[in-house]
Amino acid sequence: MKKFLIVFVVLVGLLGAVYFYFFQLSPVEKNNPMNAVPASAALIISMEEPLAQWKELTNNEIWEYLKSNPVLASIGQSVDSLNAEIKKNEGLWSLVANRPIVLSYHPVSSNKYDFLVTCDLQKATQLGFLKNYLDKFIGDEAKIFNRKYLDSEIIEFSYYDDPEIYYLSLVDNLLLFSTTHTLIEESIKQKSKPLIARDLNFVEISKYMEVNSPTIYFHQKNFKTFLEKFTSSEAQKENLQFLTYSDYVGLNLAVGDDYISVHGYSDEPDSKPNMVQALLKTGKGEINLGAIVPENASAFTSLGFSDARSFYANLENILKNDESEGEYESNKERLEKFLDISIEENIISWIDNEIGLIQLNSSSNRNSIELAVAIRYNDVDDLNENLDYIEKKIRRKTPVKFKGIDYKGYQIKFLSIKGLFKLVFGKMFSSIEKPYYVILEDYIVFSNSPKTLGKIITATVENKTLNSTKEYAEFMEEFKHESNLFLYVSAQELLTDAKNVMDNESWAALSKHKKYIEGFPLLGIQLLPENDLLAYRLQMKHLNNIEQDNWKSLLQELSLATEQDTAEEDAMEDDYIIAVENILPEDLNDKKLTQEFDNGQLKFEVSLKDGLKHGRYSEYDSLGNLIIKGRYKEDKKVGTWKFYDSEGNLVKKIKE
């Protein structure tokens, strides 16, 4: 960035010279700046009005906030210096720095990338004028040379106290500038037959890009190669595979005092089958998941489609392609034959238009992330009929007992088909290995843990879901109600999850930037088909320091409200006893349910049978003193319950 600013300042001087020589210009055929961009570009930035757009990007509260980050400190100083120079010579900069500029980022060696700057002078000039100007501009502080390359000239200049060499050339109306001579040469060589500018996919995307805001183009295969230089494992490289789904992505960037907005397009993927392709071919679905997602959730992903059968048929093509030859078909056939079921008729048939992956805040669980899969159903009777049928078939084929428990009026059940979600929906849902499930509102929700389902049930019953919050409603106004893919992220809650799963060293590195992450509490990304292209929308909400404090207070109030509700339930039972009736185990096969104080001291323990409290119950204070003991039978208190003070003295007995 710092090098770019230096280059930009030099360009302004050159453009100033061009401006004063306008009357000596010779008319020539004009070239589009994009024509000068070599095919090796990984990233292209286009600005029609650089000065105005630069001011928009750097004169706002968000940039003032971000530049205080130590990582951006040096860049911030360079930007401030340039802005001061612009302000001091506003008139000159307005004249010479509002011509279209294209910056492209290219590999110049195995481990080095550099920018090529292409400026549209809008009229043509002759290189001699620029060389004469440079002689005066640089004086005795530098050396300057020029040489022929094909039918063009290249000027080279460098300062005596700086090893950097600058290269520039004029191609008709285009000024080319770089610190790498091969980029200038590549640009000159391909000027009559540009590859990127004539690529039909690039042309189609560029038609919909707005000229009044900066446009960023990603040349996907080249950008993937660039990012791979920062990966350290094959798994990380595999995660970048999605970049090959399309050839180009074009994005417009807008920044205000309280938002960052990005929208744009890519060509639709038509190569290797993938999830995005499967979604695009089956229409859009509504984003209704907020009706059951707790208001303190870390994130959720919503997949939308108009027809579940078509979506699954397209998804199957992906699964067949990802697995070894014949493996997917073999596994599917084996499961269907063993249980005498049909995935299409007994599962896909009752799916409506949305499947979601929910990540809950797991502040109480170290080294774990709580996930759930929610599937919107189209007919509850059809859903129950098919689930009953599947359960019946499993009973006949396996010794598994179906265990279920009632929680706040909802039945949590267990579906004993290991690997079902990976088989039906692929890797995205492979983390749900032993699904417990509950039918809730218009969804059937699956999770590895009934405790996770209990949190979702509680939020829905107590109207503490995202749909019930004003902040979520206002944020969702920035997006269309129907889409193929929508991602929602709450930064504050996600940071809590990160702290739980990261090692101390990684968390220490991330926590340095915690303040800046919290400054953007909500992030949304949406993908949907539009204009025969794939449309993108990204929105980030920014809060200043005062608003951040208010936001944290709001989250704390939500947390305290939950604790207060629990405390009120406790009081209804007894002044002493914890309301374990509304606490669920992680697994219905667990033999014991326990909870600890913040200091690690055991708070209570109770025996379990088939997910129900069944057997001895003991409760302790934070110092480890026994204060309650009793027994449960099939989730109900039985016998005599005894209560003790901290000295071990019996203070009360209750006969259940």
The span from the CA of 350 to the CA of 381, in Å, is 9
Pick the last residue of a domain from 542, 563, 588. 542
Q: What confidence tier does 439 reach under pLDDT thresholds 50, 70, 90?
A: very high
Can you give the pLDDT at residue 573? 39
What are residue 377's phi and psi, to 5 degrees?
A: -105, 160
- Strand spans (E) along 142-183: 142-149, 152-159, 166-171, 174-178
Can you give the pLDDT at residue 111? 86
Can you give the pLDDT at residue 438? 94
Contacts of 497 (CB under 8 A, 6+ apart): 298, 359, 361, 362, 369
The residue type at 324:
S
Residues 504 and 355 in one domain: yes
How many folded domains does the chain comprise?
Answer: 3
Segment among 313-317, 409-413, 576-580 with least mean pLDDT: 576-580
Is 90 exceeded by the pLDDT of residue 500? no
What are residue 218's phi and psi, to 5 degrees?
A: -110, 120
Helix H or strand E encompassing 525: strand 522-530
Tell me if 412 is assigned to some domain: yes
Residues 212 and 273 in one domain: no
Contact 124/143 with Cβ under 8 angstroms? no
Can you give the pLDDT at residue 366? 55
Residues 38 and 165 in one domain: yes
What is the rounded average pLDDT of the residues 609-614? 78
Can you give the pLDDT at residue 628? 92
What is the rounded average pLDDT of the residues 452-458? 92
> What's the token pair of residue 5?
């600013």
Average pLDDT, the chain: 81
Contact 486/475 with Cβ under 8 angstroms? no
Can you give the pLDDT at residue 217? 96
Is 50 exceeded by the pLDDT of residue 44? yes
Strand order in the sheet with 650-655: 592-596, 602-609, 612-620, 626-633, 636-644, 650-655
Q: What is the CA radius of gyration of the chain?
A: 31
Residues 502 and 637 in one domain: no
Is 50 exceeded by the pLDDT of residue 563? no
The span from the CA of 555 to the CA of 558, in Å, is 5
What are residue 509's phi and psi, to 5 degrees?
A: -70, -40
Can you give the pLDDT at residue 571? 36
Domain that holds residue 363: 268-542
- Report the DSSP beta bridge partners of residue 555: none
Pick the last residue of a domain from 221, 237, 253. 237
What is the rounded average pLDDT of the residues 408-422? 82
Can you give the pLDDT at residue 53? 85
Residues 148 and 101 in one domain: yes
Contacts of 599 (CB under 8 A, 6+ apart): 622
What are residue 639's phi and psi, to 5 degrees?
A: 70, -155
Contacts of 18 (CB under 8 A, 6+ apart): 96, 121, 125, 129, 130, 175
Residues 335 and 421 in one domain: yes
In terms of average pLDDT, the best of 171-175, 238-242, 426-430 is: 171-175
Tell me if 534 is assigned to some domain: yes
**Cα 581–chain centre separation:** 37
Tell me if 181 is assigned to some domain: yes
Can you give the pLDDT at residue 115? 92
The span from the CA of 584 to the CA of 613, in Å, is 10
Residues 230 and 161 in one domain: yes
Can you give the pLDDT at residue 397? 74
> What's the token pair of residue 550?
């208010």
Is 90 exceeded by the pLDDT of residue 211? no
The span from the CA of 147 to the CA of 225, in Å, is 33
Can you give the pLDDT at residue 284? 92
What is the rounded average pLDDT of the residues 511-535? 88
Q: What is the pLDDT of residues 185-202, one digit of tens each?
A: 999 998 888 999 999 999
The span from the CA of 339 to the CA of 655, in Å, is 48
Is 50 exceeded by the pLDDT of residue 594? yes
Distances (CA, A) of 135 to 14, 181, 294, 570: 11, 20, 67, 85
Helix H or strand E encompassing 530: strand 522-530
Can you give the pLDDT at residue 238? 78
Question: By C-alpha distance, which of 354, 285, 275, 282 is closest to 316?
Answer: 275
Tell me if 566 is assigned to some domain: no
Question: By C-alpha distance, which of 228, 9, 247 is closest to 113?
Answer: 228
- Report the DSSP beta bridge partners of residue 443: 376, 440
Q: What is the pLDDT of residues 269-302, one digit of tens each?
A: 666 667 777 888 888 999 999 999 999 899 999 9
Residues 278 and 360 in one domain: yes
Higher pLDDT, 501 or 290: 290
Q: What confidence tier does 247 reach under pLDDT thresholds 50, 70, 90?
A: very high
Is 90 exceeded by the pLDDT of residue 361? no
Q: Give the SS3 label for residue 293.
A: coil
The span from the CA of 594 to the CA of 606, in Å, is 7
Residue 353 has, within 13 A of its CA and on its CB side, a CA count of 14
Can you give the pLDDT at residue 2? 45
Tell me if 116 is assigned to some domain: yes
Instruction: Return the ∠ at Cα 47 (arms to 42 and 49), rounded to 5°.
Output: 170
Q: Give the SS3 label for residue 459.
A: helix
Helix H or strand E encompassing 130: helix 127-138
Can you give the pLDDT at residue 29? 55
Q: Return the number of other C-beta atoms located less than 10 Å from residue 467's C-beta.
A: 16
The span from the CA of 86 to the CA of 82, in Å, is 6
Distances (CA, A) of 226 to 2, 105, 118, 556: 20, 10, 21, 42
Q: What is the pLDDT of residues 55-96, one digit of tens each?
A: 888 888 888 888 887 777 777 787 888 788 777 767 666 665
Can you give the pLDDT at residue 468? 93
Higher pLDDT, 213 or 377: 377
Q: What is the pLDDT of residues 638-647, one digit of tens each?
A: 999 999 988 8
Is 70 exceeded by the pLDDT of residue 266? yes
Tell me if 256 is assigned to some domain: no
> What's the token pair of residue 582?
């509304």
Residues 514 and 613 in one domain: no
Can you give the pLDDT at residue 140? 66
In terms of average pLDDT, the best of 503-517, 592-606, 618-632 is: 618-632
> What's the token pair of residue 350?
């009752």
Residues 196 and 334 in one domain: no
Q: What confidence tier does 548 reach under pLDDT thresholds 50, 70, 90?
A: low
Tell me if 553 is assigned to some domain: no
Q: What is the per-residue burial (b if ≥16 Cβ within 10 Å, else e) of 613-630?
A: bbeebbbbbeeeeebbeb
Q: How many helices (H) and strands (E) does the chain have?
A: 22, 28
The span from the CA of 436 to the CA of 456, in Å, is 13
The residue type at 12:
V
Contact 168/187 with Cβ under 8 angstroms? no
Is 70 exceeded by the pLDDT of residue 381? yes
> What's the token pair of residue 337?
């034959």
Pick the last residue of a domain from 542, 560, 590. 542
Segment among 4-18, 228-242, 445-459, 612-626 with least mean pLDDT: 4-18
- Report the DSSP beta bridge partners of residue 596: 602
Q: What is the pLDDT of residues 114-157, one digit of tens each?
A: 999 998 876 655 555 555 655 555 556 778 888 999 888 898 88
Residues 513 and 592 in one domain: no
Tell me if 410 is assigned to some domain: yes
Can you give the pLDDT at residue 460? 95
Residues 278 and 406 in one domain: yes
The span from the CA of 451 to the CA of 586, in Å, is 5
The span from the CA of 207 to the CA of 200, in Å, is 11
Residue 106 has, within 13 A of its CA and on its CB side, a CA count of 23
Higher pLDDT, 492 or 43: 43
Burial class (CB in 10 A: 0-12, 13-18, 19+), 88: exposed
> What's the token pair of residue 210?
């707005």
Segment among 178-192, 576-590, 597-611 with least mean pLDDT: 576-590
What are residue 107's phi and psi, to 5 degrees?
A: -75, 135
